[in-house]
Structure 1
Amino acid sequence: MLNMPAYLMSKRTMFNVAKKLGIDLVELLAIWAFCFWDVGLLEQNETSEAISRRIRERIMYEVLTYYNSKGLENSSNRLGNLLFLVRDSVKTAEIVKENFEIRQLFGLNTINGSVCNLFRSTRMPKEDMNELICAICSHTSDGFHFGATACRACAAFFRRTVADGRVYSCRGLSTCNVQWGDRCMCKACRYQKCLDMGMRKTAVLKGSTCPDYSPREVSSTPSTSYSPEIQQSHERSLQQTPFTLNPTTTPILHKLLGNYEALKSVRKMVYSKDGEALFDNVERVPRAVPRDEVNEIQSKDVQLQLHFLVSSFPELNSLEGPQKKLLFKNYFFLSRIIEAAYESVAKGHEERFYLASGDFIQCDRPLTEGLTEERAEKEKQSFRLFIPGDEIFRKTILSSMKYHRMDLVELVATFFLCFFWDAGIQGQTVECEEKCRQFRDAVMRELLQYYKEIGVPFPEVRLGNLIFLTRDATKTMHKCQESFDVAEILQLTVLSGTLYNLLSSFGHL
């Protein structure tokens, strides 16, 4: 009985889709390769990530070449659906791991040893927890970087310093305290400590620094690929000229983008404080908020998002009420994760998780200033509880977002391509699933057309990277849902009411 949820999920999301597509042996091997060359794994270092990205893009390029050699029609959409199959494997894998650990708890597993460890959720053993401390700043480490155990921030600092040839000088006696959370951390002492702890300058890949992210209203800068053909074409397309969507060739994206801009305008009014000038061209200054205020802030966005969806897709009226709720629950959390990552990268604050109001949660430390003793203690507990989710968010979504430099059109397309019009959701009817696949294919076609119009070379590879990015969002969501559920058990009241039902794995609308 424990295996039934995993079987039903795999049948809906994988077996039926693979059968419908008629997956051949080459495509099966490609799926295995995509699963192996993953990025954003908790203990994965930057060299491994770079190699994985390079090989993954090369595989996408070769699959397209294979399709063209067979003379397949609509090969771009086929590759997209193949990658959705890879993404959906994450859903099944999570359920399998949960079932396996429950069986382990009750002594029902028939396998053990090294094979047993392969089926368990990815966790560091308790005896190795002391290794999860950054040797430079004492923050939580996410792996081995350039020869030392380090957090992502110190690894990025060392990489930029070496790659750019930066030289720092200490204003003191070169004995400054290097501690995470210190906004005025001495760069010279931090760099020297990196060297003292074993980081090697020779381990930094040439050209490994990412260009500064400069967002524009509608733009597209393809990711750097390492195959010669894609690399040369990408270099020719790194132009930052604004682009207007063509309502004739991309009508769905054109409508979505307009409605999203309207949503942001309505949010500005809803979240404005008394006395703020709505019509002045002055941006509201975002503020850090404690975690117990998130429920009130995000609850206001639920109705705004519903109106946004209904105005964007009149076709929703043809679906039954329970199916609409199912799609909305699948959409809301994942779209917030992607949107928050987009804002964090665009504004250059990767330590922040931006909310719909424009305010943010400080992910690198608890916010206790001005709180009562009771609220401050709950804030600290919530902060510790969400550290795993925050780490995965930074290592997967933020890393991929910064690497690929997603633009606004891609952001909006992602909401609907991968989250709202998703297929294979548990409880989804056949009619709803078919409609979702039709819309998903339509959005894929328009996104590929958009890439062609702005001159993105190998648009299918760019689309593939976008789909992989959404798989990272799913990983983050699962970890955050675990934290929400534990917070509910501990009565930390991070979420309540409708928002809890939307974001929790146990919630029902």
Structure 2
Amino acid sequence: MTETPPKPRRKCLICSVPVVAAHFGMDCCRACASFFKRRKLSGKKFACRAGDRKCLVVKDDKFMCRRCRFDRCIEVGMIYDGPLRVNKKGADLMENSPSSSDTASPSTSRGHESILERIGREYNSSVDRRRVQEERILGECEDRKLVPHPTQKIYLANYRTSVQTYNVCVAETLIFFREAFPSLLELSKQERDLLFKGYIAKFSMIESHYRTRKVWGEVKRYCMGSVLICVDLECTERWLGEEDGGENRLELLESIRSYSNDQFALVLPMLNKAQITSKEFYALLALVLCEIDSSSHIPDYVLAAVDEIRAEVFEDLQRYYKEEMGLSDFSTRLGNLMTLNHTIQECNSLFQEFFRMNTTIFDLNQSEDLIKELFS
């Protein structure tokens, strides 16, 4: 008689204690759920005990930092959408105002476009524009080569077409960034510039991995570099010709292979496990924006603007899980999505290291000028 394998232990996404039931639609303990609800009801704001908002949130800590505990609740997507306390003045105003049945809020009215719908619309419009420009680039490439694919026209990338399509991607992603996140237009040009420069690499990574899996399934040979071109990872020599690589070409190619393998080893298992939908992909395009390196010296009010985007995405995600997917407990899906988000941050660190080691093959001056021009 075969033994039934033990079920994996569920842990609170906030403080990591074991849990057996979901609260607010996710794996969190009753204590953390109650703490979050009390904080939302009271409206109190807490200061970080250490001052750097990096405290560990563990149940055994006698003096758990309330600010970092609340931040952790927000980070994992916790939302309390129940009734909030209203003061006497507010209650009088409500009595004299039209009833909620007469005036639906923008977030609940049928005609309102949610943030995930806006991201999806702008992303797909961006892809359509990129496809047209990439077709023109490939049409002017004399040595273009189709890669065998049952349903799509996919071309093999080389260094020169990669640089050209990357510049197109930078320009179009900047337009997407502006249109998908209009609240950021209230920031200064310099602040938007900082956010975008931290965003473009992560956007490119998650799009590349998502598109690769969508086009090639679990085939590990090809990696989509843009909308229409891919890199043959089993033959990177085709990507970087002898005239482009210089005297260190072979070492560079080995570095590219190693970097690609590390990226796939991190992301592919998580993508296979998460099986994200298109709407979860749109959410991820926003969540990678919201993960900001603490060393980037972003002002607090800019972080607050980004936090508002994160909260809006989580609220829309919960509605999507409940209403469109019919899930009462969506902690697994949301947990997988957040793990994938953190994995992209790891990939970004790998990319920064790889880029620093191999800057000789990247000509980003044109892209930097384009960023400055489009932000002005």
Return the TM-score normalized by structure 2: 0.64
Aligned pair in 2 of structure 1 residues 379, 292: CA closer, same or farther (>3 Å)?
Answer: farther
> Number of paired residues?
288
Distance 1:80 1:498 in 2: 42
Which residue among 319, 335, 347 is the counterpart of 2:187? 319
Residue of structure 2 equivalent to 1:496: 364
Residue of structure 1 equivalent to 2:339: 468
Contact 1:392 1:475 in 2 (8 A): no
Distance 1:438 1:418 in 2: 14
> Per the alignment, in what secondary structure is the counterpart of residue 236 of structure 2?
coil
Amino acid of the structure 2 residue aligned with 1:82: R
Q: Tell me if 1:364 matches 2:354.
A: no
Task: Within 5 Å, give how 1:340-419 maps onto structure 2.
Answer: 340-347=208-215, 348=217, 349-368=219-238, 371-372=241-242, 375=245, 380-419=250-289
The two structures, once aligned, show a CA RMSD in angstroms of 4.1
Distance 1:69 1:430 in 2: 26
User: Deviation per CA, 1:99-143, whole angstroms, max 9, x where unpaired?
Assistant: xxxxxxxxxxxxxxxxxxxxxxxxxxxxxxxxxxxxxxxxxxxxx
> Per the alignment, in what secondary structure is the counterpart of residue 386 of structure 1?
helix
Cα drift, residue 271 of structure 1: 0.8
Q: Tell me if 1:285 matches 2:149.
A: no
Task: Within 5 Å, give how 1:93-492 maps onto structure 2.
Answer: 251-273=114-136, 285-291=153-159, 293-347=161-215, 348=217, 349-368=219-238, 371-372=241-242, 375=245, 380-419=250-289, 422=292, 424=294, 426-453=296-323, 454-488=325-359, 491=360
User: Deviation per CA, 1:226-248, whole angstroms, max 9, x where unpaired?
Assistant: xxxxxxxxxxxxxxxxxxxx965
Contact 1:30 1:63 in 2 (8 A): no
Aligned pair in 2 of structure 1 residues 69, 470: CA closer, same or farther (>3 Å)?
Answer: closer
Distance 1:409 1:461 in 2: 16
User: Deviation per CA, 1:289-337, whole angstroms, max 9, x where unpaired?
Assistant: 2345422220111111111122223322210111101111121111111
Residue ranges of structure 2 left out of the alignment (5+ in a row): 1-11, 41-67, 77-108, 140-149, 371-375
Distance 2:33 2:347 in 1: 38
Aligned pair in 2 of structure 1 residues 71, 311: CA closer, same or farther (>3 Å)?
Answer: closer
Aligned pair in 2 of structure 1 residues 474, 434: CA closer, same or farther (>3 Å)?
Answer: same
Cα drift, residue 82 of structure 1: 2.2
Contact 2:187 2:302 in 1 (8 A): yes
> Per the alignment, in what secondary structure is the counterpart of residue 231 of structure 2?
strand
Q: Which moved more, 1:383-392 or 1:67-76?
A: 67-76
Cα drift, residue 404 of structure 1: 0.9
Cα drift, residue 362 of structure 1: 2.2
Residue of structure 1 equivalent to 2:30: 66
Distance 2:297 2:175 in 1: 24
Cα drift, residue 361 of structure 1: 1.9
Residue of structure 1 equivalent to 2:63: none
Distance 2:278 2:120 in 1: 8
Distance 1:364 1:501 in 2: 34
Contact 2:263 2:347 in 1 (8 A): yes
Contact 1:338 1:473 in 2 (8 A): yes
Distance 1:310 1:249 in 2: 19
Residue of structure 1 equivalent to 2:6: none
Residue of structure 1 equivalent to 2:16: 30
Amino acid of the structure 1 residue aligned with 2:362: V
Cα drift, residue 455 of structure 1: 1.4
Distance 1:342 1:81 in 2: 28
Distance 2:240 2:294 in 1: 46
Contact 1:366 1:379 in 2 (8 A): no
Distance 1:364 1:83 in 2: 43
Contact 1:350 1:398 in 2 (8 A): no
Contact 1:424 1:433 in 2 (8 A): no
Contact 1:257 1:412 in 2 (8 A): yes
Distance 1:310 1:478 in 2: 25
Cα drift, residue 259 of structure 1: 1.2
Distance 2:290 2:280 in 1: 14
User: Deviation per CA, 1:392-450, whole angstroms, max 9, x where unpaired?
Assistant: 21111111011111111111111112325758562211111111111110111101111
Distance 2:293 2:112 in 1: 25
Return the TM-score normalized by structure 1: 0.49
Distance 2:186 2:307 in 1: 15
> Per the alignment, in what secondary structure is the counterpart of residue 296 of structure 2?
coil
Aligned pair in 2 of structure 1 residues 315, 330: CA closer, same or farther (>3 Å)?
Answer: same
Contact 2:13 2:28 in 1 (8 A): no
Residue of structure 2 equivalent to 1:157: none
Distance 2:293 2:113 in 1: 22
Residue of structure 1 equivalent to 2:72: 82
Distance 2:243 2:129 in 1: 36
Contact 1:287 1:359 in 2 (8 A): yes
> Per the alignment, in what secondary structure is the counterpart of residue 342 of structure 2?
helix
Distance 2:316 2:170 in 1: 27
Contact 1:368 1:379 in 2 (8 A): no
Residue ranges of structure 1 left out of the alignment (5+ in a row): 1-25, 34-54, 87-245, 277-281, 503-508
Distance 2:118 2:369 in 1: 29
Distance 1:457 1:364 in 2: 44
Distance 1:438 1:82 in 2: 15
Aligned pair in 2 of structure 1 residues 58, 312: CA closer, same or farther (>3 Å)?
Answer: closer
